Amino acid sequence: MSFLADAEKLNAANQINAWNTKAMGAMEQAKSAFVSIRNQRVAMEKNLDYSPSDILEVDNILLNLNALANTLPIK
């Protein structure tokens, strides 16, 4: 194996690791935001200031976020 082939593989590995780190951080941030929205939705159920249509609107947000997450390809 040549030096150039090894260097190319190392560059690819470094790029994949960088993308992985970035994706993991973004997903953790998205997960945290999703949980915050879900917790607010639970609190809304106990607060008479929020109508059923208000709660339904938040339910739709959560469904849309979940649907987006499920579009991630497996391979």
Question: 0.85 cut: is pTM over it?
Answer: no
Per-residue pLDDT of the chain (75 residues; tens, 9 = 90+): 577 778 888 999 999 999 999 999 999 999 999 999 999 999 999 999 999 999 999 999 999 999 999 999 988
Count of alpha carbons within 13 angstroms of residue 70, beta-carbon side: 6
Structure tokens at 28: 């953790």
Task: Give CA–CA dist 60/36, Å, rounded.
Answer: 15
Task: Give CA–CA dist 54/64, Å, rounded.
Answer: 16
